[in-house]
């Protein structure tokens, strides 16, 4: 750590063994007390520096006493043991202090917009505006260094242990049909634009056709869509592709990769990871990315209520995909207020158009619900057993179309967990890591805007499940895909698939099923005709993975220079206006809305 630089030691490494040594430290002034001592900070830690009080060192005393906080200083002095009783066991360097003999202010700091301390609350906008100051915090330093360490271990595992080739793919490319919106980059050819790739998907398939066999890249990717806590317009993924591999092979590779690169301070992870189908995940958790750290699974009570006289239940069950399902909220009476239950029901109504009925288990074991008048004493008792209800539990019940009911209850399950934890009931341990493979996704889904048309559930290059290959040509809505997602604690951290390696099948999917113009992908279709090997791959979302490992509330806390929630760089004020003359070579003219024209004039 001290090679090539002027310091002898970092501010985090001095110990009792260094007592008596002359050292030179460089760092930032974190704290200074009454001209007696200061705390010097660098990337590795803190060291207490004693300011000399004798006349011979009066210039050193004045210099260090007057130095504003966060000024950059050099201090040379002798390492000494702290006086008895003044040791600080909370500091790794807490047994020693450095008695300054010479010092130099390398750069003075002006008044700070906020204090550089992790416990000081700062608005995210202010943190984004002064990101270079925010980066000095111990938490961000730790996050970025851990990220670097994990990526290096991943490179070792893939390249050194398993023969992968690290290949950089182009950033300027062309539009890919389907998927997320892409950023456009103008060219000097009239009307022609590049697209920034949302992933290196086509390139990694072309590398397999080119015979590289095993490819990997720490890839920059771009999506022109709104930011969320776990999404950015530009992000990083660990991109992987292999030839002659099946789904099980990719899964074993990723399990080994994560086990090898997993930080020791986060415990160990057990492989193989459990797996469930998309249909199982939807039925039990109401989502394709289940958080399996806690229970509250969805229970199907259709058969139990089929013989009841409850009208809305019978109406729901009369439809082909009709169902009645419920979740049980443990200790809901104790931890949830009436307004909480009302907000849960309102959420289901507004987001999913799904009515929800609550059932409360009273202290005497009896039920309180609008449903009880339709059920006999024996049926009530059986329902308590079916739902595994205990005193003070609250059940949320929904009836209707299968997917809508499951999605609504899955959302209420997570919202209920948030409410329970906010009220003091611990459900999800952030230091507990539950990995899960979700497999057997549908290959196609109906388009939201036009349900009679189909779109790819993931992307158009995913191969159909071998058992469903014939259905591709007769009933594509029933085809399962060879896609697999990796989920960690309820967040999708990776997704991949075995790819279509037949030009004929790829053309059929694009033209006949998706009704896309295959000319856009003519280069890939042609490449598939030149002896393309069977191949598959995966991409891990690096930002999301690291944020889960360090329990960060947002991926912005593990990216050095992230964009704001609205996708802006508040520090550099990007995006920004471009002068008309700079747009001329690209044959672009900005058409301003009238109110913006007036604003620019003023």
Residue 230 confidence (pLDDT) above 60: yes
Does residue 1 belong to any structural domain of this protein?
no
Report which of residues 344 and 375 the model is more confident about.
344
Helix (H) or strand (E) holding 358: strand 357-361
Residue with the larger pLDDT of the pair 128 and 602 = 128
347, 388: one domain: yes
Phi-psi region of 489 (alpha: psi -120 to 50; beta: other; left: phi over 0): left
Q: Is the pLDDT of residue 227 over 70?
A: no
Q: Is 352 left (phi over 0), alpha (psi -120 to 50) or beta?
A: alpha
- Residue 599: the pLDDT is 62
Q: Could you tell me what percent of the chain has a pLDDT over 90?
A: 85
The verdict on 409 and 469 lying in the same domain is no
Q: What is the CATH number of the domain that holds 146?
A: 3.30.930.10
419 and 513 within one domain = no
For 138-157, what is each residue's pLDDT tens digit?
999 999 999 999 999 999 99
In this structure, the strands spanning 322-329 and 394-401 are antiparallel
Residue 586, both tokens:
């690209």
Buried b (16+ CB within 10 A) or exposed e, 90-124: eeebbbbbbebeebebeeebeeeeeebeeeeebeb
The span from the CA of 256 to the CA of 241, in Å, is 15
In a domain, 482, yes or no: yes
Q: What burial class does residue 186 get, using C-beta atoms within 10 Å of its C-beta: 0-12 exposed, 13-18 middle, 19+ buried?
A: middle
Whether the predicted pLDDT of 362 surpasses 90:
no
Task: Answer yes or no: is 118 within a domain.
Answer: no
What global pTM score does this model have? 0.93
* Dihedral angle sign, alpha carbons of residues 567, 455, 486, 203: negative
Closest-CA residue to 409 (of 355, 335, 482): 355
Q: How far apart are CA 370 and CA 308, in angstroms?
A: 14
Structural domain range at position 50: 16-107
Inform me whether the pLDDT recorded for 594 exceeds 80.
no
Residues 6+ apart with CB under 8 A from 166: 155, 158, 159, 216, 217
Q: Decide if 197 is inside a domain.
A: yes
CA distances, 578 to each of 126, 184, 598 (Å): 25, 16, 17
472 and 357 share a domain?
no
Task: Copy the structure tokens of residue 66.
Answer: 């007057």
What is the Cα–Cα distance from 262 to 241, expressed in whole angstroms? 21
Q: Is 395 a domain residue?
A: yes
Pairing of strands 96-107, 46-50: parallel
pLDDT on residue 438? 98
Residues 146 and 254 in one domain: yes
- Say if residue 462 is in the same domain as residue 511: yes
Final residue before a domain boundary, out of 423, 456, 480: 423
Q: Distance between CA atoms of 533 and 348, rounded to whole angstroms?
A: 47
Please give the C-alpha separations between residue 570 and each of 45, 129, 263, 539, 543, in angstroms, as whole numbers. 29, 5, 32, 29, 20
pLDDT score, position 602: 56
Claim to verify: residue 443 and residue 414 sit in the same structural domain? no
Q: What is the CATH number of the domain that holds 341?
A: 3.30.1360.30
Instruction: Output the domain CATH number for residue 68.
Output: 2.40.50.140
Asked whether residue 466 falls in the same domain as residue 382, the answer is no
Measure the CA–CA gap between 4 and 316, rounded to whole angstroms: 73
Residue 597 clears pLDDT 80, i.e. is over it: no
Among the listed residues 113, 89, 91, 112, the one whose alpha carbon sits nearest the alpha carbon of residue 40: 91
Task: Compute and round to an integer the Cα radius of gyration of the chain.
Answer: 30
- Same-domain check for residues 258 and 350: no
Q: Which residue has the higher pLDDT, 364 or 301?
A: 301
Are residues 85 and 171 located together in one domain of the fold?
no
**Mean pLDDT score, 61-74:** 97
- Estimate to the nearest angstrom the gap between the alpha carbon of 65 and the chain centroid: 44
Q: Encode pLDDT of 159-168 as tens digits.
A: 999 999 999 9
How many residues are recorded in the chain?
602
Query: What are the tens digits of pLDDT across the range 470-509?
Result: 999 999 999 999 999 999 999 999 999 999 999 999 999 9
Give the total number of structural domains in the chain. Answer: 3
Q: How many Å separate Cα 478 from the centre of its chain?
A: 31
């Amino acid at each position: 750590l001290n090679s090539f630089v002027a310091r002898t030691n970092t501010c985090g490494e001095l110990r009792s063994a260094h007592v008596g040594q002359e050292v030179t430290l460089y760092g930032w002034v974190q704290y200074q007390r009454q001209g007696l001592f200061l705390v010097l900070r660098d990337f590795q830690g803190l060291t207490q520096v004693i300011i000399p009080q004798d006349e011979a060192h009066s210039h050193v005393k004045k210099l260090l006493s007057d130095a504003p906080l966060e000024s950059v200083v050099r201090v040379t002095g002798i390492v000494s043991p702290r006086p008895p009783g003044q040791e600080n066991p909370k500091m790794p360097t807490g047994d020693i202090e450095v008695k300054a003999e010479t010092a130099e202010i390398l750069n003075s700091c002006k008044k700070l917009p906020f204090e550089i301390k992790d416990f000081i609350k700062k608005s995210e906008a202010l943190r984004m505006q002064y990101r270079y100051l925010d980066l000095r915090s111990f938490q961000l330093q730790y996050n970025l260094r851990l990220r670097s360490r994990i990526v290096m271990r991943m490179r070792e595992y893939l390249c050194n242990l398993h023969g992968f080739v690290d290949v950089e793919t182009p950033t300027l490319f062309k539009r890919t049909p389907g998927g997320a919106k892409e950023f456009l980059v103008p060219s000097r050819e009239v009307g022609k634009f590049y697209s920034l790739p949302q992933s290196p998907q086509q390139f990694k398939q072309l590398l397999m056709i080119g015979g590289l066999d095993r490819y990997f890249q720490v890839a920059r990717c771009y999506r022109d869509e709104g930011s969320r806590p776990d999404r950015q317009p530009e992000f990083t993924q660990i991109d992987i592709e292999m030839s002659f591999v099946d789904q099980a092979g990719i899964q074993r590779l990723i399990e080994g990769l994560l086990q090898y690169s997993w930080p020791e301070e986060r415990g160990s992870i057990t492989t193989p990871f459990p797996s469930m189908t998309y249909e199982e995940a939807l039925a039990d958790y109401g989502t394709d990315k289940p958080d399996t750290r806690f229970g509250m699974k969805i229970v199907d009570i259709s058969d139990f209520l089929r013989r009841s006289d409850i009208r809305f239940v019978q109406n729901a069950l009369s439809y082909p995909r009709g169902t009645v399902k419920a979740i049980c909220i443990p200790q809901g009476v104790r931890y949830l207020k009436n307004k909480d239950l009302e907000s849960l029901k309102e959420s289901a109504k507004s987001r999913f158009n799904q009515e929800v009925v609550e059932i409360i288990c009273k202290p005497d074991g009896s039920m309180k619900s609008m449903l009880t008048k339709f059920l006999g004493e024996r049926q009530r008792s059986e329902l308590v057993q079916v739902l595994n209800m205990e005193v003070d539990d609250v059940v949320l019940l929904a009836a209707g179309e299968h997917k809508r009911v499951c999605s609504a209850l899955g959302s209420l399950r997570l919202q209920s967990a948030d409410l329970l934890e906010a009220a003091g009931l611990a459900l999800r341990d952030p230091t507990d890591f539950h990995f899960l493979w979700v497999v057997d996704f549908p290959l196609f889904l109906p388009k939201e805007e036009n349900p009679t048309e189909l779109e790819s559930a993931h992307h158009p290059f995913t191969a159909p499940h071998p058992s469903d290959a014939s259905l591709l040509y007769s009933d594509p809505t029933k085809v399962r895909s060879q896609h697999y997602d990796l989920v960690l604690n309820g967040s999708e951290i990776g997704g991949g698939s075995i790819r279509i390696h037949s030009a004929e099948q790829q053309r059929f999917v694009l033209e006949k099923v998706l009704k896309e113009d295959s000319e856009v992908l003519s280069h890939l279709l042609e490449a598939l005709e030149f002896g393309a090997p069977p191949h598959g791959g995966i991409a891990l979302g690096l930002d999301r993975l690291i944020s889960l490992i360090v329990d960060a509330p947002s991926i912005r806390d593990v990216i050095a220079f992230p964009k704001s929630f609205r996708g802006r760089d508040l520090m550099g004020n990007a995006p920004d206006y471009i002068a008309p003359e700079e747009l001329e070579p690209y044959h672009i003219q900005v058409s301003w809305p009238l109110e913006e024209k007036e604003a620019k004039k003023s």
